[in-house]
Amino acid sequence: MASISPTIAETPAQEVDWTARLRLILSYAILFLLAFTFLYPFLLTVTTSLKTLPEINENPVALIPETWTLEGYLAMQNLNVGRWMFNSAFVALAITVGNVLFASMAGYALARIPFPGGNLLFLTILGTMMIPGIVLLIPMFIILKQVNFIDTYMGLIFPKVTTAFGVFLMKQFFESIPKDLEEAARIDGANRLQMFFRVILPIARPALIALIIFTFQGAWNDFMFPLIVISVRQELYTLPLGLAVLRGGLGESLQWNAILAGSLVTTLPMAVIFIFFQRYFLEGISYTGLKG
């Protein structure tokens, strides 16, 4: 955690010449400007969710509401939001744990173990990402029905417990790890499993954190897949699914404040988790240096 500020302290001040300083100032200017454009729409979402409907219609891009209201949030009061949030968290967590384990194992095998069929396997896995998911919905439903996964947590979790994205991500990361580490372990008589858990995984920390963030987020925001898994048991809805009900029919009076409030409720837990993991993420540099 202590990686950043000490780095600055360690650098002798006199070595920072003026070009470097200028570059730094320029960097800050760009970064803050960009940060603003990236955060502004989000801020707008927050404040718009607190406006009244007529006011939103009046001026949709004004940042500060004239009258503050919780109208948009009250639309959710009769919905089972707590339960849906639990479902989302539980499902996303289970999927993330599964991916950390299985996707990194598969990624490792594809990146590091020269086994017959590996390359073909990799291309196949990569290929599965290239079919538009929309065309797989009905086949997926048929299979889920065959294995009695419709309307169950298992149905929400199991098919996603390893994602092609996760395997691909981890494979690419493992490829950039120097090989000599494993050679050393091998000479010490470690087998593949030991090598993987004792040598590789610890080094892959930044990659794993990235995997955790992406997988969790992907599972959390997923819409189409839960849509077909959950058929009648609405108490098993995930948050995006549940709140989509709120959006109702298009073309009629769009309750912007309620829609945005709903999407915020969906988003905020993700944001908290991301900010939390930031800290682990930042440690990366010092850890990679340590080499196990």
Partner 1 sequence: MASGIKGQDREDAVAGWLFMTPALIVFIVFLIIPIIFALYFSLTDWNGISPPAEANWVGLDNYQTVLLEGGIRQSDFFKALKNTTYFAIGVVPLQTILSLLLAVIINQRLLRYKEFFRTAYYFPSITSSVAISLIFLFLYQRSGLVNNALEFLTFGAWEPVAWMSDARGLFHIILEALGVTLRDGPEFLRGELLGLTVWDWISGPSVALMAIMIMNTWTTIGTMMIIFVAALQDIPGSVYEAAQVDGATAWPTFRRITVPLLRPTIFFVVTLGLIGTYQVFDQIYVMSSGGPAKTTLTMAYMVYRNGFRNSEMGLGAAIAILLFVIIFVLTLIQRRITGSEAEQ
Partner 2 sequence: MTRKWYKLLAFFLVLTMALVACGGQEEEPPAGADGEQDVPTEAPPVEEEPEAEEEPPAEEEPPAEEEEPAEGTGAELQLMGWSSSEAENTRLQAVIDDFNAANGNIQVNLNLVPDYDTRLQTSLAGGAPPDVFYIDSFRLPDLVDAGAVEPAEGRIEDPDDFYESLRDAFTYNGTFYCPPKDFSTLGLQYNTDMFDAAGLEYPNEDWTWDDLRSAAEQLTNEEEGVYGMVLSADFARWIAFLYQAGGEVANEDFTEMTINSPEAQEAMDFYVNMVLDGFAAQPADLDSGWAGEAFGRERAAMSMEGNWIVPALADGFPDVNYGVTQLPAGPAGEATMAFTVCYGVPADIPDERKEAAFEVVNYLTGAEGMKAWTDLGLAMPTRQSLRDQWLEQFPDLQPFLDGAEHARAWQFVTGFQDVLDTVNNGLQQAFAGTMTSEQVLEQAQEVGTEVLNR
How far apart are CB 234 and partner 2 at their closest, in Å? 5
* 14: number of Cβ within 10 Å: 6
Total residues contacting partner 1 by CB under 8 A comes to: 108
Distance CA 105, CA 262 (A): 37
Question: CA-CA-CA-CA torsion for 248, 251, 254, 259, nearest 10 degrees?
Answer: 50
Residue 88 main-chain phi, psi, to 5 deg:
-55, -45
CA 202 centroid distance within chain? 21
Contact call for residue 137 and partner 2 (CB under 8 A): yes
Chain residues 8-67 in contact with partner 1, contact rule CB under 8 A: 8, 11, 16, 20, 23-24, 27-28, 30-31, 34-35, 37-39, 41-42, 44-45, 48, 60-61
Chain residues 193-222 in contact with partner 2, contact rule CB under 8 A: 202, 205
Contact call for residue 79 and partner 1 (CB under 8 A): no
Total residues contacting partner 2 by CB under 8 A comes to: 62
Contact 287, 205 (CB under 8 A): yes
Picked from partner 2, partner 1, none, the partner binding residue 42 (CB below 5 to 8 A depending on kind) is partner 1
Chain residues 99-158 in contact with partner 1, contact rule CB under 8 A: 101-103, 105-106, 108-110, 113-116, 118, 121, 124-136, 138-140, 142-143, 147, 158
Residue 137 CB-density burial (10 A; 0-12 exposed, 13-18 middle, 19+ buried): middle
Among 3, 67, 148, 278, binds partner 2 (CB under 8 A): 148
**Under 8 Å CB-to-CB from 97, ≥6 apart: which residues?**
none
Which of residues 190 and 244 has its CB atom nearest to partner 2 in the complex?
Answer: 244
Picked from partner 2, partner 1, none, the partner binding residue 105 (CB below 5 to 8 A depending on kind) is partner 1
Which of residues 44 and 93 has its CB atom nearest to partner 2 in the complex?
Answer: 93
* 189: alpha, beta or left? (left if phi > 0; alpha if psi -120 to 50): left
Contact call for residue 136 and partner 2 (CB under 8 A): no
Max CA pair span of the chain: 72
Contact call for residue 73 and partner 1 (CB under 8 A): no
Contact 171, 111 (CB under 8 A): yes
